[in-house]
A and B are shown apart, each in its own frame.
Chain A
Amino acid sequence: DQQVKQNSPSLSVQEGRISILNCDYTNSMFDYFLWYKKYPAEGPTFLISISSIKDKNEDGRFTVFLNKSAKHLSLHIVPSQPGDSAVYFCAASAQKGSSNTGKLIFGQGTTLQVKP
């Protein structure tokens, strides 16, 4: 039972354009969402997060949008750069009282390729 889903395995965009990575979740107990970036044979590095009390969080070129009613979040990268090429993981966490307390549940990942 996949609680966090990234339905697009890959995405290719031109340098300078916008990259939009999508993520859906099923568990309404999730209240904190994070995006991680990962290069091959390395550990994921934290990119940006959003709490369920917000619908948008921005950090430089990266913006995460959260639509709680649709249980959907997206990561926007503007402008996209070749160095952004990596695998992006969406992840969700729940507060205390949930069976997912303390855990981070990951999606399958989306491989982003930014072409020069």
Chain B
Amino acid sequence: EVQVAESGGGLVQPGGSLRLSCAASGFTFSDHYMDWVRQAPEKGLEWVGRIRNKANSYSTEYAASVKGRFTISRDESRNSLFLQMNSLKTEDTAVYYCVRVASDYVPDYWGQGTQVTVSS
């Protein structure tokens, strides 16, 4: 069974940093691209970014709202995905989801999300 599970959320002050993790199981992690998507309170879904697989040099794409502040990485040995978030702003407050990307580029399996709150 495909599973992805986020962790690492919490309360952080504006300007601070936080690192989210996502543990993947039930599929060959190294074959798949992976996404991060977020959802602010009572708002819609916002794509944060993507990391490709080894065959595509682990290259990344980011939303303009996070580019230069957030970094996506992965560790194949631990079947894990990461989101390093720096210079956090109050508008980064959201539930952050880890999402597997299927072979035809559609995001298919979502984790349950981890809450990030940026507040003083």
Partners in one complex: no
